[in-house]
Amino acid sequence: MSHRDSLTGSNGTHTAKVQAEVYKLGEWLIRQEGVELLLPEGFFKTPAMKTQSPPPLFKAERMTFPEPLDFKILEAKLADKKSFTNAEILLKSNYPIVLQQVENKKYYDEVRTWIQKLSICGYLSEEYCQTKAELDYLQEKRTAVMLQKIPELMNKEYGEGKIKGSKAIFTIGLSHLPLILKSLQESKIRIAAPGSIQNKREDYVADLLLQRNKTQVSILIPQSLLEDKKILRLKNLN
């Protein structure tokens, strides 16, 4: 995923196109793979993104789907600055899927606070480096908490009969992938605490619950991001 700027809310160079590609990936997974649960990164409060059970249509044996959106129309809709929308909001509005909150509000708010702190630090000053280290740690801790919550949400929705199979789409920014890949390879989440005097943090080490539950994980990267070697290098994915 390529998100809007976390401070200004503005689209980046790739945002609208990548969001459109994410929508199309989600659409394919819903239509062809029968995925019924959507877990987006980000703490959502707006009515359009509120968690709710699917309509009765979802319970039918044969679901009827809307016509797929034209890619250019989709991209233009996602680039529109007059009203906020994203791939997840559109998927929820066009398909009878279950949407659930995967974020932990405490870590979400803490990360936003440290992003704001970083934005006013002098670039590469000692304060900037310390703040960046704290922010990187909190971002990884936030990612870890989301990863660990996925099996719980899948089991809950499946157990309550809201979804027919224990499958989910988890959408998250590209910068979180190095930790996710490392955790999948090691079957464990390991996050080293920054060496800060002011904010004493602890190392985070935990077994990866996704693998304890023997959940199969596929990572899908939008083509626009995959073709941008500069972005992959910046995110340590080269």
> Is 7 a domain residue?
no
- The label of the residue with tokens 């129309």 reads 73
What does the pLDDT read at residue 1?
63
Written as one letter, the residue type at 210 is: L
| Whether 122 contacts 128, CB under 8 Å | yes
> Is 220 a domain residue?
yes
Structure pTM?
Answer: 0.85
d(CA 28, CA 96): 14
Average pLDDT for residues 204-229, to the nearest whole number? 93
| Whether 86 contacts 103, CB under 8 Å | no
Domain containing residue 110: 15-234
Cα-based angle 149, 151, 157 (whole degrees, multiple of 5): 100
> Is 3 a domain residue?
no
> Is 4 a domain residue?
no
Domains in the chain, number: 1
Q: CB-based contacts of 104: which residues, under 8 Å, 6+ apart?
A: 142, 145, 146, 149
pLDDT tens for residues 151-182? 999 999 999 999 999 899 999 999 999 999 99
Closest CA to 53 of 171, 154, 164, 163: 163
pLDDT tens for residues 73-111? 999 999 887 777 899 999 999 999 999 999 999 999 999
Check pLDDT > 90 for residue 123.
no
d(CA 11, CA 47): 22
Check pLDDT > 90 for residue 223.
yes
Q: CA Rg, the chain, in Å?
A: 19
> 57: burial class by Cβ within 10 Å (0-12, 13-18, 19+)?
exposed
> Is 122 a domain residue?
yes
| Whether 174 contacts 231, CB under 8 Å | yes
Of 24-33, 45-54, 144-153, which range is least confident? 45-54
What does the pLDDT read at residue 199?
62
List the structure tokens of 138.
Answer: 């909190």
Cα-based angle 169, 173, 179 (whole degrees, multiple of 5): 90
Check pLDDT > 70 for residue 45.
no
> Is 2 a domain residue?
no
